[in-house]
């Protein structure tokens, strides 16, 4: 009951369990740059799908930026209650937004963490704005916190948030999950002031990554740059605490997406697209317009397919759906220009009056429409230059007809490659190799297609997104490490 909870938060957890005869789940507080406020007209993002059931079950708070940048001083957090969850959002001043989001987060952290040192544009003003906004988040969040809340912070925008909360005296369990890659120390140390920013992650109790490679890269950074002692397993000592490192690959709603795709392929929209192909095979790619996605390199590979395997001319159409993103950042304008030039070159060289080899669409499409298009495609091209996970790859597999599945062509530099090992794994920097893989996918016998799809689908079912949040929370809330207890005892003497 609420009365028992109010008593429990002021006493020891073990004592509360002894009195009540069962454990009580503490309230979950999720913090992210953007907040997934329910909207029946909008597509739920991956983070929403993953954590909303856990928030509803425990009772929770989701806190973050409203998406609005104002000229005036931001007011208090705006609150919305829905289905046992409180959504709390705050505005940002325009200069804070520019320095924090467009500046340091997306022009420094994003390229460096995606291994693109050449695209990072560092200024101390933007770094200052990044820390200032994290302090602003902490100052507003602490007004809403309870002593026993469990806090889960998401992504590269909010790396120093736990440190800001600790400095305000908050001893809550705090976890962090980064949704994008974490590169080796040799790359991370190219980040100006890395020694000020990255060690602030040590104020979290659990730091989660998409792949074992990312976890290992962070462990190497902690050992090499911070010299922190190992505490056994995937953990290390930091002051009087033990900090854990975990790997939690994000999944998709595998079975639900498969059911959606079965219905979606019969919709008028998908039927219209298929009719327009006049029986030609379809290759599909779906990505935000971002330089990390390798879209120009992918188009170059398709061009090599048409050059090196001319029998496919007039028999296959490549559909690339690419909504624009971060339009205020010059690098994204540049990538849009490169892609547009590639589309014009390929269609101008190989196109016929009755056949357009490459269809390039900048509109976002509904989840239902994409599910149907994935199911109808002979091959899915998912070839990022570097990606934390890439859920398009997993949704493509989930959408396929197991009796006549399409083939996933997947970059070995996507986190999904660790699970979708039965895909055709390719090096996106090698257009000849990708072209050969496309030809193989289009020519693959049905038995091999079925075997590869079944192997990938089995893995995705075992790592469904519904289990992801529960695994993270179970590790975050597990009893303190024995070494942690000894350290706390020593600190109290």
Q: Which residues of 231-245 are buried (b: 16+ CB within 10 A; e: fewer)?
A: beebbbbbeebbbbb
Is residue 34 classed as helix, strand or coil in its secondary structure? strand
Are the C-beta atoms of residues 314 and 355 closer than 8 Å to each other? yes
Question: How crowded is residue 341: how many other Cβ atoms within 10 Å of its Cβ?
Answer: 12
Helices (H), 37-189: 46-58, 94-97, 110-113, 124-141, 161-166, 185-188
Both tokens assigned to 230: 């190992």
Pairing relation of β-strands 78-82 and 85-93? antiparallel
Query: What stretch of H or E contains 247?
Result: strand 241-247
The C-alpha atoms of residue 49 and residue 179 are separated, in whole angstroms, by 14
Is residue 28 classed as helix, strand or coil in its secondary structure? strand
Nearest to 491 by CA among 243, 165, 239, 236: 239
Among candidate residues 148, 157, 387, 453, the one labeled active-site is 387
Helices (H), 278-424: 295-308, 330-350, 367-376, 391-399
The DSSP bridge partners found for residue 88 are 63, 79
Please indicate whether residue 148 is annotated as part of the active site. no
Helices (H), 59-104: 94-97
Please indicate whether residue 179 is annotated as part of the active site. yes
Among candidate residues 114, 154, 157, 179, the one labeled active-site is 179
CA 245 to chain centre: 18
Is residue 154 classed as helix, strand or coil in its secondary structure? strand
Are the C-beta atoms of residues 105 and 127 closer than 8 Å to each other? no
Query: Measuring CA to CA, how many Å separate 2 from each of 6, 59, 149, 412?
Result: 6, 12, 14, 50
The C-alpha atoms of residue 203 and residue 180 are separated, in whole angstroms, by 20
Question: How crowded is residue 163: how many other Cβ atoms within 10 Å of its Cβ?
Answer: 21
Instruction: Please name the residue that has the structure tokens 């460096």.
Output: 112
Residues with a catalytic annotation lie at 179, 387
């Amino acid at each position: 009951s609420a009365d028992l909870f109010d008593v429990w938060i002021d006493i020891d957890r073990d004592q509360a369990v002894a009195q009540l005869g069962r454990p009580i789940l503490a309230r979950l507080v999720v913090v992210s740059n953007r907040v997934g406020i329910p909207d029946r007209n909008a597509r739920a993002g991956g983070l929403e799908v993953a954590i909303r059931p856990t928030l509803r079950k425990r009772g929770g708070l989701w806190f973050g930026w409203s998406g609005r940048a104002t000229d005036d001083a931001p007011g208090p957090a705006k609150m919305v209650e829905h289905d046992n969850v409180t959504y709390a959002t705050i505005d940002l001043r325009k200069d804070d937004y520019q320095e924090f989001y467009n500046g340091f987060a997306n022009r420094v952290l994003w390229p460096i963490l995606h291994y693109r040192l050449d695209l990072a544009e560092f200024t101390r003003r933007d770094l200052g704005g990044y820390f200032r906004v994290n302090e602003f988040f902490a100052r507003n969040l602490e007004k809403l916190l309870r002593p026993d809340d469990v806090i889960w912070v998401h992504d590269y925008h909010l790396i120093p948030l736990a440190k800001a909360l600790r400095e305000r005296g908050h001893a809550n369990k705090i976890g962090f999950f980064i949704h994008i890659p974490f590169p080796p120390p040799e790359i991370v140390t190219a980040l100006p002031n890395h020694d000020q920013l990255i060690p602030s992650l040590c104020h979290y109790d659990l730091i989660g990554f998409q792949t074992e490679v990312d976890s290992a890269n962070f462990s190497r950074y902690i050992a090499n740059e911070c010299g922190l002692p190992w505490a056994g397993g995937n953990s290390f000592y930091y002051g009087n605490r033990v900090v854990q490192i975990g790997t939690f690959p994000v999944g998709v709603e595998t079975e639900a997406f498969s059911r959606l795709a079965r219905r979606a392929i019969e919709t008028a929209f998908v039927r219209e697209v298929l009719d327009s192909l006049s029986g030609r095979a379809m290759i599909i790619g779906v990505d935000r317009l971002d330089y990390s996605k390798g879209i120009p390199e992918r188009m170059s590979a398709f061009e090599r397919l048409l050059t090196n395997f001319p029998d496919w001319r007039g028999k296959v159409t490549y559909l690339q759906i690419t909504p624009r993103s971060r339009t205020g950042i010059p690098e994204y304008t540049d990538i849009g220009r490169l892609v547009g030039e590639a589309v014009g070159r390929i269609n101008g060289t190989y196109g016929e009056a009755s056949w357009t080899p490459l269809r390039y669409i900048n509109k976002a499409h509904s989840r239902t429409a994409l599910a149907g298009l994935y199911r109808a495609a002979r091959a899915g091209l998912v070839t990022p230059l570097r990606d934390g996970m890439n859920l398009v790859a997993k949704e493509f597999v989930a959408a396929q007809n197991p009796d006549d599945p399409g083939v996933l062509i997947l970059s070995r530099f996507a986190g999904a490659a660790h699970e979708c090992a039965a895909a055709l794994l390719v090096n996106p920097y090698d257009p000849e190799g990708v072209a050969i893989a496309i030809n193989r996918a289009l020519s693959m016998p049905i038995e091999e297609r079925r075997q590869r799809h079944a192997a990938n689908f089995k893995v995705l079912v075992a790592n469904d997104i519904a289990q992801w949040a529960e695994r993270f929370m179970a590790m975050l809330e597990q009893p303190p490490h024995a070494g942690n207890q000894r350290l706390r005892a020593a600190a109290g003497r």
